A and B are shown apart, each in its own frame.
Chain A
């Protein structure tokens, strides 16, 4: 029994880290640009596929480093060309736009790489278990969690100590003032979108190594990421981090006792949060309510 609980707990933590990476990227974009990027899951898939293409040439490690940057560049271009046109309009347009974009990206993946799942080869020594007792804790999983910790720490440091990061945080609070102080808000939003895409790309490579690749791999991750944001509180990145881990672990533990409710439980958590604490766990009062 303990083994089973531990097994699912590990799974939950792993899946939770994917949610966290996705949700942090989404959250960044929502906070600064007020756009819910429906295509974020497809950015993730693209990140994974780019790694699939690069692995034969530069190996898994190289792909892990390069692929998120390429995804970020893609996100930057898409923001510049398409998404920035809808910032001043009703939310409905940004939702429909990214929704349509997601369709196109998914079809592009299917067209190029085919509809059937593909494996992303990870170095053989990574798939070995850390200890024979706990067969499910592979080096890859340990490594994955470490990468996510580094990435999240890096993101928070970026937001705290770099000039662009500080501007992004300031813009989240009051974009008009930031603009009045002479910051190029349009460029700021593009950088911010690129950072969000970078996180999606990173999550894509990691997820591909664990779960394999298929054109709609992002679809299963995007809804929990939304919920992570709602549960954690819109406007708070720490909240998003907490929300992602919470629903990952909660859904995994439910799997132990009542497998068919594993997906439902995250929605129950969301409904409870909305009932008891509508702004989310760490959300600020009045923020986007």
Chain B
């Protein structure tokens, strides 16, 4: 019986095949994107949102802990990068470093107050912390630009000493820059998930009580996982600021947090590439709907309701289940 192969087995996409398909598509975006009516900047936005959601997914999908306030770290990353470019030095790497550190360290500190909470309570406290950052950006007019957002900075060319890469005007070059950062970050995430620490995260997700009985310091692992996930989301935030040459206080708002969670769920939060697929769907939908109608909120809301009720495992989750992988 065990040798019987069902037709579904023939269509199983193996992990390495998946990897080849995804990277082939990502690397050739500037060539096929115009053909399907898109533009390269939207592809960069997809990557940024995907990175933010993949960062969140380390926590959500792999540790089983729900943060509904990741916009805070995303936004702090964006503001950190923007403020560095505006007030400190016109250096893109420095801006990215500063933004990532700002968001990541803030997340690490908040995490200390969070780790003992669970479930709905954890989510509520993360939302509230997110709103603190939103109000600070919103109220601190003369430093952050307040309601209008932070303007007056542009991404600087990359200077490698021997040669320079000018990512300022060229959308395609900037896309590849984002792709390189995305690739490095995602590779690092895969390494983390393969490490003993990553396995422990899964153990906590599957059965927290048993993990505790085994003597694992559950709180410490959740805290670390939260912190790491904040660093990745903040990195995505810095890219977002570079992409738009603008940092928006609404990027810190809980609505943004909801969008990031939605991207992870829509694509499939129990799968590694799910958030990328979710980002493609979400950004396309948002772009399309907001160009069609002013009532985009009800459409996005409707998508939330429909996904939760009918596709809770997300697109990748459904595909994987169907192919039996």
Contacts and interface: CB of A to CB of B under 8 A. Distances in A.
Nearest to B307: A96
A104 B302 contact: yes
A99 B124 contact: no
Given A107-B298, A263-B135, A230 B128 contact: yes
B157 interface: no
A21 interface: no
Interface in B288-325: 295, 297-298, 300-305, 307-309, 312
B120 A288 contact: yes
A263 B123 contact: no
A34 B120 contact: yes
A30 B120 contact: yes
Number of chain A interface residues as a range: 35 or more
A96 B119 contact: no
Among A100, A104, A230, max chain B CB count under 10 A is at: A100
Interface in A205-259: 223, 226-227, 229-230, 234
Interface stretch (A116-124, A141-149, A194-202, A269-277): A269-277
A100 B120 contact: no
Interface stretch (B11-19, B29-37, B76-84, B257-265): B257-265
Given A274-B113, A289-B116, A100 B139 contact: no
Given A36-B124, A85-B309, 4 more contacts: A91-B120, A93-B308, A288-B118, A288-B119
21 contacts: A82-B309, A89-B312, A91-B119, A91-B120, A92-B66, A92-B261, A92-B265, A93-B265, A96-B258, A96-B307, A96-B308, A100-B308, A102-B301, A107-B297, A107-B298, A264-B136, A267-B128, A267-B131, A271-B113, A274-B125, A289-B117
Closest 10 A/B residue pairs (Cβ): A100-B304, A103-B301, A107-B298, A104-B301, A100-B301, A267-B132, A107-B297, A97-B308, A100-B305, A103-B297
Interface of A: 30, 34-36, 82, 85-86, 89-93, 95-97, 99-104, 106-108, 110-111, 223, 226-227, 229-230, 234, 260, 263-264, 267, 270-271, 274-275, 278, 288-289
